[in-house]
Amino acid sequence: MMKMPANKWLLRTARVLALGAIVGAITCPLTASASEPGKYGTLSFVLENDLFYGNDRHYTNGVRLVWVPGPDTSTPEWAIKLARLVPWFPEQGEIRHGYAFGQSMFVPSDITVANPPLDDRPYAGWLYGSIGLGVELGEQLDQFSVSLGIVGPSSLAEQTQKFIHDVVGADEPQGWDSQLGDELGINLTYQRSWRRFATTTFLGNQLDLTPHVGAALGNMFTYVNAGVTLRYGKQLPSDYGPPRIQPGLSGSADFAPVSDFGWYLFAGVEGRAVAHNIFLDGNTFHDSRSVDKKPLVGDLQFGFVLDWSDIRFSYTHVLRSREFQTQENDDNFGAFSVSVKF
């Protein structure tokens, strides 16, 4: 697929950022409580899109809205019992919970072709809701989530992409008639992270290392993963990196507010051993398009985080290795997030 001219790319990227800013402003209004920030909870909006880099292929768009209730909100008893079913989930510590709603979409290399090649990534969408549980003990964070949703036309990915492309003036996708069929999905995800595994001061600012390991199990994704993130900045907040849409490097939707202004730069790597990916392997229970996936996938990411009182903003650039055998190039996409404490 040829890249678009620079002027068109700048215009469309500006429109995507403007659209994300509008949605973020609606979902995360800057009206958090000045007296007790975080008393009611933290609301995060995440947008991931490849148009930031002039592409429109493969993992092309993801949006996710996350609500983490404040520490004074009781975690539902059924959620606590669910967490205790995970053998290595900590028995000590206070369990925090959160809710998320999101949509991800995947397309072939050339969206202008009505009948994409059979050896290219199939069209697919994933609309889901999640409940997440987390326990922080010292500098260790354990996170467990259950996601329920649907793949296929009922995910509304076709309508969403066509609407966004109409707003930003991009090419209209032509091949959604070939997308994966409807299929209910369930996925379990677990991750353990260690913050400040190695902390020091360099040139007047803080430096730390945050390794993580995890796994996912379900008819959407099944994999094991491990990675590490290096952070450098001023007043490193008590988080584990900016929130991301899975699969991806570890992060956290909640964060500790800073007294005035804080920032940090980060870079991280993650490797995944993939046993199943419905968006490459195709539908589980009936015939659909599919491609031969690669068993090992790697991500390299870098970006920045800005904290101002009870507001956090982040931007991440992601380089992802080839995910299927006939894929010609690695992928690039950007991830934008804004979080506000209420």
Question: Using H for helix, E for strand and C for coil, what is the string for the chain?
Answer: CCCCCHHHHHHHHHHHHHHHHHHHHHHCCCCCCCCCCCCCEEEEEEEEEHHHHCCCCEEEEEEEEEEEECCCCCCCHHHHHHHHCCCCCCCCCCEEEEEEEEEEEEECCCCCCCCCCCCCCCCEEEEEEEEEEEEEECCEEEEEEEEEEEECHHHCHHHHHHHHHHHHCCCCCCCHHHCCCCEEEEEEEEEEEECCCCCEEECCEEEEEEEEEEEEEECCEEEEEEEEEEEEEECCCCCCCCCCCCCCCCCCCCCCCCCCEEEEEEEEEEEEEEEEEHHHHCCCCCCCCCCCECCEEEEEEEEEEEEECCEEEEEEEEEECCCECCCCCCEEEEEEEEEEEC
Tell how far CA 292 is from the center of its chain: 24
Tokens encoding 37:
């920030």
Which pTM was predicted?
A: 0.87
Q: Is the pLDDT of residue 139 over 80?
A: yes
Q: Is the pLDDT of residue 207 over 70?
A: yes
Task: Judge contact between 185 and 218, C-beta under 8 A.
Answer: yes
Phi, psi of 7, deg, nearest 5:
-65, -40
Max Cα-Cα span within the chain: 59
Q: Among residues of the chain, what percentage have pLDDT more than 90? A: 56
Model confidence at 136, pLDDT cuts 50, 70, 90, reads confident
Average pLDDT of the residues in 146-152: 96
More confident residue, 320 or 35: 320
Phi, psi of 232, deg, nearest 5:
-145, 125
Model confidence at 32, pLDDT cuts 50, 70, 90, reads very low
Exposure of 314 in the CB half-sphere (CA atoms within 13 A): 32
Amino acid at 141: L
Cis peptide before 247 (omega within 30 of 0): yes
What size, in residues, is the chain? 342
CATH code for the part of the protein at 6-341 = 2.40.128.140
d(CA 258, CA 260): 6
Residue 333: CB atoms within 10 Å = 22
d(CA 257, CA 45): 17
Q: Which of 179, 15, 167 is CA-nearest to residue 104?
A: 179
Amino acid at 38: G
Structural domain boundaries in the chain: 6-341
Q: How far is CA 239 from CA 139, 203, 236, 257, 281, in A?
A: 10, 22, 8, 10, 35
Render pLDDT for 191-201 as a digit per residue (tens, 0 to 9): 999 987 666 77
Task: Judge contact between 250 and 193, C-beta under 8 A.
Answer: yes
d(CA 240, CA 230): 11
**What pLDDT score was predicted for residue 1?**
44
Report the chain's C-alpha Rg in angstroms.
20
**What pLDDT score was predicted for residue 342?**
87
Task: Judge contact between 70 and 39, C-beta under 8 A.
Answer: yes
Render pLDDT for 49-88 as a digit per residue (tens, 0 to 9): 987 676 788 999 999 999 999 887 888 888 778 877 888 8
**What pLDDT score was predicted for residue 84?**
79
